[in-house]
């Protein structure tokens, strides 16, 4: 296995960081890796906002529902859907942008944001840094918009905390790969057994790692029984991302 694959196979989210800063060289390499990542139609409708100021990171941590590791890690990068940029480009040609009002447009931008996130994860981990993605910034998207001074037609979709690892952890097990990889056609016949087995595996993992509050995977899914971040739709709409086409 080559080094890139080894790094990807070793991924685990880190929630304990030292106060050692991430060097400019490392940070630039991580951001430049994402900058080279593909985007749909080369639209480049993604922007990153790098937050290093401790007080501002503390505010992000608070907006994300009190996630201490966001304040602790020296770097936080917000991945922003940026239809403001594309609107300026399109306006130059006299055309009017509609994509930002569509589910297709939001989906495309979310995919491109995910590619940026994944690229930065591999880049940071390849430098020996720890990371944790932060979807919690969608808990109070208006607060993030205000903090980052985001204009209309933009939306803070997800973030990434990056820093030097203080306390490493055992990798979290995954459900069996047979419930993930489908060859030629989709086949859900093994799902129930895989879920039962994974619920047990995850409980053993929590127990091994002293997490008395750990729950089985199926119980972990409780947030999916409601709209987890209900502010996303109204705030995205106020930003002009109507999602109604
Ligand atoms: C898009 C996305 C958003 C996430 N948001 C958060 C978050 O707000 N806070 C957090 O502590 N972890 C967050 N995570 C990390 C997941 O909880 C983690 O990836 C998952 O439990 C699997 O664990 P692992 O990454 O250690 O393998 C997020 C992960 C992803 C991919």
Pocket test for ligand 1, best of 78, 112, 132 (most atoms within 8 A of CB): 132
Domain ranges of the chain: 3-169+226-238
Q: Is the pTM of this model over 0.85?
A: yes
**Structure confidence at residue 28 (pLDDT):** 99
67 CB under 6 A from ligand 1? yes
Helix H or strand E segment including 156: strand 154-163
Which of the residues in the chain have pLDDT under 70? none
Mutate to test the pocket of ligand 1, among 133, 136, 198, 222 (most ligand atoms within 8 A of CB): 133
DSSP letters along 16-41, please? -B-SPPPPHHHHHHHHHHHHTS--GG
129: region left, alpha or beta (phi > 0 left; psi from -120 to 50 alpha)? beta
The per-residue pLDDT for range 119-155, each reduced to its tens digit, is 999 999 999 999 999 999 999 999 999 999 999 999 9
**Residue 6 confidence (pLDDT):** 98
* Helix (H/G/I), strand (E/B), else coil: 191: helix
Provide CB contacts within 8 A for 92, sequence distance 6+. none
CA 63–ligand 1 middle distance (angstroms): 16
Question: Strand 154-163's sheet: what is its strand order?
Answer: 46-51, 75-82, 154-163, 130-134
Q: Pick 3-169+226-238's CATH classification: 2.60.120.200, 3.30.930.10, 3.40.109.10, 3.40.50.300.
A: 3.40.109.10
Give Dmax over CA atoms of the chain in angstroms.
Answer: 61
């Amino acid at each position: 296995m080559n080094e890139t694959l080894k790094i990807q196979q070793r991924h685990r989210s880190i929630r304990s960081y030292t106060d050692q800063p991430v060097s400019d060289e490392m940070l630039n390499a991580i951001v430049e890796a994402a900058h080279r990542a593909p985007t749909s139609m080369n639209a480049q409708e993604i922007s990153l906002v790098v937050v290093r100021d401790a007080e501002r990171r503390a505010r992000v941590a608070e907006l994300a529902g009190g996630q201490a590791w966001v304040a602790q890690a020296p770097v936080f990068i917000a991945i922003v859907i940026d239809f403001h940029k594309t609107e300026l480009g399109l306006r130059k040609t006299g055309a009017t942008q509609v994509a930002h009002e569509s589910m297709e447009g939001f989906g495309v931008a979310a995919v491109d944001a995910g590619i940026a996130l994944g690229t930065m994860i591999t880049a940071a981990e390849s430098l020996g840094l720890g990371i944790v993605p932060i979807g919690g910034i969608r808990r109070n998207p208006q607060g993030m918009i205000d903090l980052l001074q985001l204009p209309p037609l933009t939306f803070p979709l997800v973030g990434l905390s990056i820093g030097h690892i203080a306390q490493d952890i055992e990798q979290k097990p995954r459900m069996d790969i047979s419930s993930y990889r489908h060859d030629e056609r989709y086949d859900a016949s093994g799902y129930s057994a895989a879920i039962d087995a994974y619920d047990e595996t995850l409980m053993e993992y929590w127990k091994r790692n002293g997490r008395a509050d750990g729950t089985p995977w199926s119980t972990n899914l409780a947030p999916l029984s409601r709209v987890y971040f209900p502010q996303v739709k109204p705030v995205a709409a106020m930003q002009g991302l109507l999602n109604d086409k």
